[in-house]
Amino acid sequence: MTKHVEIRICGLGGQGVVLAGQILGKAAVFDGLNVVQTQSYGAEARGSAAKSEVILSDTKVGFPMIRHCDVLVAMNQKSLDMYVKDLKDDGILIVDEGLVEKIPSGLKAKTFRVAATKTAENEFKSKLYANMIMLGAMTKISRVVSIGALEKAIAESFPEKVKEVNIEAFRKGLALT
């Protein structure tokens, strides 16, 4: 059976969803998978809906856009409402507990609530770490990419100074679920 997983991470511009997608993509390459990652922002650079999409496959990835979303990570209500439409019935929805209140009615996908932003603020004194916490939670729940590959990808993606704390945030996310 071939592996083909479509993951979408969405939120508000500035929440770090694009970076989270890039790190996930890089990790998948470490795991030996074929990867395509795309992203889109709203018209303004900050403060509107942003999304990052990653397609992982053990064969060549052709069409680069998500059509059948296996995993949707939503970091705020607006982006969830905008991007939930392609989520498969047997897919996984992971939302930031503090920022997403309403799960669309009738949604069949399995839903997980992770207090990412709250934990980031409480334990890392900055909501900037919410994206790495979410990545940790997603890794634990979906198991699409190995923990080792993700830690390596995080380490390569941040300057020395903040590398460790981001890995710590990722591990916190693993532990939250």
Partner 1 sequence: MLNPGIKFMQGSQALAEAAITAGLRFFAGYPITPASEIAEHLAKELPKVGGIAIQMEDEIASIATIIGASWTGAKVMTATSGPGFSLMQENIGLAFMTETPLVIADMQRAGPSTGQATKCGQGDVMQARWGTHGDYASITLSPNSVQEMFDLTIRAFNLAEKYRTPVILLGDEIIAHMRESIIIPPKNSIEIVNRKKPRPGETMFFGGEEIPPMPSIGEGFNVTVTGSTHDEYGIRITADPVGHRKLVKRLVGKILNNADEIVEVEAYNTENCKIGVVSFGCTSRAVYEAVERANEKGVKTGFIRLKTLWPFPEKQVKVLAQTAKTILVPEMNLRQIFFEVTRVAEGAAKVVPLNKIGGGEMITPEEILAVLLKEGA
- List residues binding partner 1 (CB under 8 A): 22, 25-26, 29, 33-41, 43, 60-65, 67
Q: Is 8 strand, coil or helix?
A: strand
Residue (29 or 107) nearer to partner 1, CB = 29
160-176 vs 116-124: helix axis angle to the nearest 10? 130
Residue (22 or 111) nearer to partner 1, CB = 22
The Cβ of residue 63 has, within 10 Å, a number of other Cβ atoms equal to: 8
Residue (65 or 175) nearer to partner 1, CB = 65
Q: How far is the CB of 177 from partner 1 (least distance, A)?
A: 26
Q: How far is the CB of 119 from partner 1 (least distance, A)?
A: 28
Q: How far is the CB of 48 from partner 1 (least distance, A)?
A: 12
- The encoded tokens of residue 36 equal 């395509």
For residues 25 and 95, give the distance between their C-alpha atoms in angstroms, rounded to a whole number: 20
H-type alpha helices, 17-159: 17-30, 77-83, 116-124, 130-142, 147-157
Q: Is 63 strand, coil or helix?
A: coil
Q: How far is the CB of 100 from partner 1 (least distance, A)?
A: 26
Residue (61 or 115) nearer to partner 1, CB = 61
Residue (61 or 165) nearer to partner 1, CB = 61
Q: How far is the CB of 54 from partner 1 (least distance, A)?
A: 9
For residues 107 and 110, give the distance between their C-alpha atoms in angstroms, rounded to a whole number: 8
Q: What angle do CA 25, 51, 3 make, to 5 degrees?
A: 40
